[in-house]
Structure 1
Amino acid sequence: MTTKKELLSAQIQHIDIKQHNVVSLVDAMASMAFTSRDTARAASIYDMMLRDTECGVILCLAGSMVSSGMQKLFVDLIRNNMVDAIVSTGANIVDQDFFEALGYRHYIASDAYKYGEHDGMLREMKIDRIYDTFIDEDELRVCDDVMAQITDSLETRPYSSREFIREMGAYLVKNGRTPAQGNNDSVILAAYEKGVPIFCPAFSDCSAGFGFVAHQHARQGKPMVSIDTAKDFYELTKLKLENPTTGLLMVGGGVPKNFAQDIVVAAEILLGDDAEVSMHKYAIQITVADSRDGALSGSTLKEASSWGKVDTLYEQMVYSEATLALPLIAGYAYHKNAYAERTSKAWNEVLDRAAVAV
């Protein structure tokens, strides 16, 4: 019988876009057809988005992107000023990125396991499966416990997810989880150091939620830490007001996609009916979802334009699995040095100053 140690032996390796110059490949794809041409156009739009130094770039993440080997790609985007804010599912940020920042890893599941025939055995071994990836459940419980520790350490008040995730970055620094201290880099750490805000609009839907449950259960009838999702929305909307020209790089759909698109409408509401708020000037969405069932993940960017959210001049849908398309799109912009003239917008500081002013 295969042991747990044997199953958790081959680590997922995070792709390094710096090591693979894909410019000539993507340029060649521009003269092909179907998804190749769409991917090449998306890469050119991302390149254009970055060269527009007035543009605030918002990265939206749904699905299991960090566990699939994309963590380093996101870190490189942050550290090279190719992303100004992130809107994500909690799983990517907590269960996957913070989990790895604590020293744990995701593992490759062989073909024999990725279709579910052995999930009962995996449950007995305390191995969790994300399609063709394994996680050690015992290690994930440690992540849950650390989230509870961070929650318990904070002043008891409502927080935006951005404020809480910044505290997670501070925890990594305080507890020696940085590359300078011999550990891997992480999305949370890079964002903390670069002043890039991370929003998780459904923050309780991950290990953070277990931490909040434990904290609030222990403090029944007493002041407690909570997450204010309206504050999340308000903070991201304030960034749109502060920086009218914006672009979206969206991986998947769901809550992160809608949350980031809706800030255009929210800004109009705050400014009044006669206000003219710029739609997102640039938008790219990578998805495998189908628009015909009405699901948000597959709704097109042109559809978003009908709601006044996304301009249609520089938008591109890419119907592809993200681990194929995103390294090409991001790698193209990186090796074209599209970010060369960009500086950090330090939006965390902008939001903190706004809070003090209020």
Structure 2
Amino acid sequence: MSDIATHPAEDQIDRQKKAELLSNVVEHIDIKSFDARPIVDAMGKMSFTSRDLARATRIYNQMLEDEDCSVILVVAGSTSAGGCMDLYADLVKHNMVDAIVATGATIVDMDFFEGLGHKHYQALEIPDDKVLRSLYIDRIYDTYIDEEALQDTDHTIADIANSLDPKPYSSRAFIREMGKYLSENGKKDNSLVKLAYEHDVPIFCPAFVDSSAGFGLVKHQVDRMKAGKDYMVLDAIADFRELTDIKIKAGTTGLLMIGGGVPKNFAQDTVVCAEILGHEDVEMHKYAVQITVADVRDGACSSSTLQEACSWGKVDTALEQMVYAEATSVLPLLASDAYHRGHWKTRAKRAFGKMFE
């Protein structure tokens, strides 16, 4: 994540060493290029995580097959940087999700970043992180990001903010402007942010400024304050209200959750919020799948197990499945299986983004 204050001097960066480290581009998996149905079917006859994944895949297919069900994709963690970016884009492109709740890093530092033409790189070696800092390279486990490219993203976010009327925006409204920008100026067709804009799939980031967007928006605000001008702000309450409006309109809903934390809790809490607003007949999320490596023993599991969420009135327990696995290793199987079973071909397009025009 960007840190302008500790930028190494331009002439102190070893450009040759940096180029060597940033030489192996992460290639995002294409779920259309292989058919995972046979292996998922076979895993369903096994035990442990294999059987959990097979059941989770069946539940996701039920979401897509249920003509009344709207699907909310929930993403936390770094799976986009790790090779699942095109997977998420394909879910939008092929009408397999209807709304998205994600971390700011997923949307900005990873997808919007690549939409501008930048790349993520495989770390073939892990040198001392102080060496990486001297080269202006950021590390996500075994993945590298060029910090100079990331700062280009920060400044682009500031430029978008500067172009808008100085008023409150939900993260959904601001991300829509980011999608519009990529549609007009982007370097990558298969961008989640761009495709979500074009397909009217709203994206919410309840902790939006906890990402490169934060630096760009702070710059926007400080520059406007210095100039004595008004500035745009993000309205977190509008985020909650708008996603709750989607839940109320959708009725039957299913959650496909990668990771957990704030995005997971935010998506689940819409049921309780709808009740607070007087919609006592609102349904709990009927379907729910979570892929996570989080544990339950600290009382969290990255924002509770799905069965625990039932006690809060958020998720029904009949059609839920926890999959305890690192998501990049199992999500491509689930998504490929669902793509090739083809229930998305007959789904009605929700276009929830049009609700806010």
TM-score for both structures, normalised by structure 1: 0.93
1:356 maps to none
Distance 1:340 1:216 in 2: 44
1:19 maps to 33
- Code of the aligned partner of 1:225: M
1:193 maps to 198
2:8 maps to none
2:166 maps to 156
* Preserved contact between residue 295 and residue 301 of structure 2 (Cα < 8 Å): no
Distance 1:239 1:207 in 2: 27
Gaps of 5+ in 2: 1-13
Q: For 1:132-281, list aligned pairs within 5 A.
A: 132-175=142-185, 177=186, 183-220=188-225, 222-271=229-278, 275-281=280-286
* Preserved contact between residue 202 and residue 255 of structure 1 (Cα < 8 Å): yes
Matched, 1:70 2:84: yes
Q: Of 336, 350, 353, which residue of structure 1 is paired with 2:355?
A: 350
Distance 1:341 1:247 in 2: 17
**Per-residue CA shift, 1:183-227, capped at 9, x if unaligned?**
342000110110000000000001111111101111225321100
Distance 2:30 2:161 in 1: 33
TM-score for both structures, normalised by structure 2: 0.93
Which of structure 1's runs of 4+ aligned residues deviate more than 6 A?
A: none
Q: What secondary structure does 2:181 align onto?
A: helix
* Preserved contact between residue 168 and residue 235 of structure 2 (Cα < 8 Å): yes
Q: Of 328, 332, 351, which residue of structure 1 is paired with 2:337?
A: 332
Give the paired residue count: 341
**Per-residue CA shift, 1:38-72, capped at 9, x if unaligned?**
00000000000000121110000000121111111
Q: What secondary structure does 2:105 align onto?
A: helix
* Preserved contact between residue 291 and residue 298 of structure 1 (Cα < 8 Å): no
Matched, 1:52 2:66: yes
2:10 maps to none
Distance 1:337 1:185 in 2: 20
1:289 maps to 294
| RMSD, aligned α-carbons | 1.2
Distance 1:208 1:298 in 2: 24
Matched, 1:86 2:100: yes
- Code of the aligned partner of 2:84: M
Q: Of 311, 314, 322, which residue of structure 1 is paired with 2:319?
A: 314
Gaps of 5+ in 1: 353-358
Deviation at 1:298, TM superposition (A): 5.8
Distance 1:327 1:148 in 2: 34
* Preserved contact between residue 264 and residue 303 of structure 2 (Cα < 8 Å): no
Deviation at 1:174, TM superposition (A): 2.2
Q: What secondary structure does 1:19 align onto?
A: coil
Moved more, 296-305 or 284-293: 296-305
Q: What secondary structure does 1:97 align onto?
A: helix
